Structure 1
Amino acid sequence: MRIWLFLVGLVVLAGGVVALNLRSFNHFSSIEPAPLASCLPVTGIPGPEDIRVDQRRQQAFISSLDRRAEDARGAIHVFDLSDPLASNGFRDRTMGVPEAFRPLGIDYYEDGETRRLFVVNDAGPSVEVYDVLENGDLEHLDTFSERRLNSPNSVAATSARSFYVTNDVRPGRKARIASLHFLMRTGSGDVYFVDGAIWKHVAEGLRFANGIALGPDGESVYVAETSGKAVQVFRRDPASGSLTPANTINLKSSPDNVSVDSSGKVWVGALPKPLRLPALAKSPSATAPSEVLVIGEDGEPVTVYRNEGDELSASTVAAPADGKLLIGTVYDEKFLLCDLPKTAG
């Protein structure tokens, strides 16, 4: 009888834990829409999960993958923001290298005549580095991999051959226990700094380490904690690449990728209901809400865009570009090109 009572109590406790987790991830909450005045859906690009903008040339680099197709090869697209429907934007620029290619987070780096694109490749797992040619094509230069980097998610370039890369959960997000790490907000995410052949472990204890971005001063690094519903701010030592925790910005949604504009504002593509993603992965008819937040100098997050999922499902990135805002997603075959309110930009 005591064992039976214990088991009943255990089931009740487990049910309570599950209910609390569902509630903490907004699973039962209603979504209050916050539309942008003008958004153009650009269709034909599957899973535009991350976007980086060459502000000088007004070109957007887009990481793309049909995640519902197991054997699909991903692509990197380059869009001319003055003519987003031009046919050139819909072709892969990687020239087929590497053959196994499932891109996630990306970052663009430019210094003088040097233009580089850094791409997290889930098929590696690795970070691929490309030289950006004058016509926008990408010439593969190098592959960076290391045994500890078993679940890379996003990358932030610091020079032509150095970068930060997040490892979202230490067991690897494909491991069965990874879901438990997410639900329980286990701090098993890491950040590595890579400088040529040197790998340095610079941050740990992150609750699903996702997007990462460098501040315009080169001395701040922002890391999205998706299960922690926060953006962690680090001070960076440019000489060594070491990171020191500086601030935690708590959010009401789960952040995915982060972008930092020239003024230092942090743009966050967020998931108000992240636990809807498994259903989304299985069914094209399923939807999940989207949200974009901007964090200014005061450190307070402000919602710029929010949608139930009918206009764009499961947003992952918000990239500002000269009065425009590009919003990407993990599964939809489109991204949004929106006019940005002057008050937000």
Structure 2
Amino acid sequence: GLDVVTSSRNRKELFIYAINHRMPLDAPASQVGADSVVEIFKTTIGSKDVTHLKTVEDPSVIISPNDLVGSPDGKSFYFTNDNGVKLPSPYSPFINPKTSSVGYCHVEKGCKIALANTVSSNGIAGAPNGTLYVASTAGGFVTFLEKQSDNSLVVSDTVNVGYALDNLSVDADGQLWLAVIPHVMKIMNYMLKDNTSKSPSIVSRVSINTGVNSFYGEKYRVENVFEDDGTVMSGLTTAAYDSKRHKLFMHGISSPALVVCKI
């Protein structure tokens, strides 16, 4: 997981938040899992230099971090634990889906679990109004979360997609983009056994429903913007849309290339 955030103090300054799955010192990672931490860096637009600011670590809270959302002050972030243990099975999001969580860390105040017992939490993204979106892999839905005064989170809404989800992103217009996995077993085979096989991919867009059916309680519109059988985009896990240039960027954890579509 990685997030790049414009500083609230200087619009030319950027903070980079990155999950670092370090090698453990006391035993092989294959036996005890990674020693996962979050690294915070600072840079400026156009610069070739990056300054390391802080390593944030708390093994009791940063357990199995998947994705994160940083703050514009360079001091805090929310993140997803996709599992409740450091050495999960690749199939654990489906076998033990309610062991995931959303955590919060502040460089001066420490870390805490902001929302426990979530359903296979994966990607996380933030809206301009402060709402957080979390994708559920096994549940096939997106959870809307609102921040509380103590930095805990409460669920305000959900949007059902019906397929497994991985990462998500928010474009400049505030629309939510989802990397959708229509065939879970095919992507598991693609990632773990045969990366020459085809893994179908879908990118969905979530927006406020302004149609007639919004009157009947359908607050959000979910539409498939990109669908492929794996010939063009195989093993999709990430999708991001540039609303100014009208380009959709897609990639996957085992994909051989970045795919760009004009939309």
Q: Shorter-chain TM-score category?
A: 0.7 to 0.9
Q: Spell out, residue by residue over 1:275-329, the C-alpha distance to the aligned partner (whole angstroms, 9 max, x if none).
A: 2233212222122111100100132211000111111111111111121111111
Q: Which has the higher contact order (CA 8 A, sep 6+)?
A: 1
- 1:241 to partner: Cα distance: 2.2
Query: Where do 1:79-94 residues align within 5 Å?
Result: none
Q: Spell out, residue by residue over 1:125-163, the C-alpha distance to the aligned partner (whole angstroms, 9 max, x if none).
A: 111112224335433322112112221000001231110
In structure 1, give the amino acid aligned to 2:63.
Answer: N
1:169 to 83, 88, 102: 83
In structure 2, give the amino acid aligned to 1:153.
Answer: N
Q: Does 1:109 align with 2:21?
A: no
Q: 1:132 to 1:206 in 2, by over 3 A?
A: same
Cα distance in 1 for partners of 2:142, 2:96 equals 14
Report if the CA contact (8 A) 1:127-1:145 is conserved: yes
SS at match of 1:296: strand
Report if the CA contact (8 A) 2:177-2:239 is conserved: yes
> TM (normalized to structure 2)?
0.82
Cα distance in 1 for partners of 2:187, 2:20 equals 21
- 1:201 to partner: Cα distance: 1.2
Q: Does 1:302 align with 2:201?
A: no
CA RMSD of aligned residues (A): 1.8
1:337 to 243, 248, 260: 260
1:260 to 170, 173, 183: 170
In structure 1, give the amino acid aligned to 2:161.
Answer: L
Q: Does 1:157 align with 2:80?
A: no
Report if the CA contact (8 A) 2:82-2:93 is conserved: no
Report if the CA contact (8 A) 1:216-1:263 is conserved: no
SS at match of 2:189: helix
Greater per-residue strand proportion: 2
Cα distance in 1 for partners of 2:251, 2:43 equals 22
Cα distance in 2 for partners of 1:137, 1:329 equals 27
Structure 1 stretches of 4+ moved >6 Å = none
SS at match of 1:127: strand
SS at match of 2:172: coil
Q: Spell out, residue by residue over 1:213-234, the C-alpha distance to the aligned partner (whole angstroms, 9 max, x if none).
A: 111112x110011111111111
* 2:214 corresponding residue in structure 1: none
In structure 2, give the amino acid aligned to 1:271.
Answer: I
Q: 1:185 to 1:232 in 2, by over 3 A?
A: farther
Consecutive unaligned residues in structure 1, runs of 5 or more = 1-104, 341-345
- 1:243 to partner: Cα distance: 1.2
Q: Choose 1 or 2 for highest CA Rg.
A: 1
Query: Where do 1:255-334 residues align within 5 Å?
Result: 255-280=165-190, 281-298=192-209, 299-321=220-242, 322=244, 323-334=246-257
Report if the CA contact (8 A) 2:123-2:167 is conserved: yes
Cα distance in 2 for partners of 1:318, 1:327 equals 5
Query: Where do 1:118-129 residues align within 5 Å?
Result: 118-123=17-22, 124-129=35-40
SS at match of 1:334: coil
Cα distance in 1 for partners of 2:100, 2:166 equals 14
> TM (normalized to structure 1)?
0.63
Q: Does 1:202 align with 2:202?
A: no
* 1:99 corresponding residue in structure 2: none
In structure 1, give the amino acid aligned to 2:81.
Answer: N
* 1:26 corresponding residue in structure 2: none
Q: Spell out, residue by residue over 1:260-288, the C-alpha distance to the aligned partner (whole angstroms, 9 max, x if none).
A: 12322111112111222332122221221
2:158 to 248, 254, 269: 248
In structure 2, give the amino acid aligned to 1:309.
Answer: G
1:193 to 104, 107, 118: 104
Cα distance in 2 for partners of 1:208, 1:248 equals 14
SS at match of 1:182: helix
- 1:115 to partner: Cα distance: 0.6
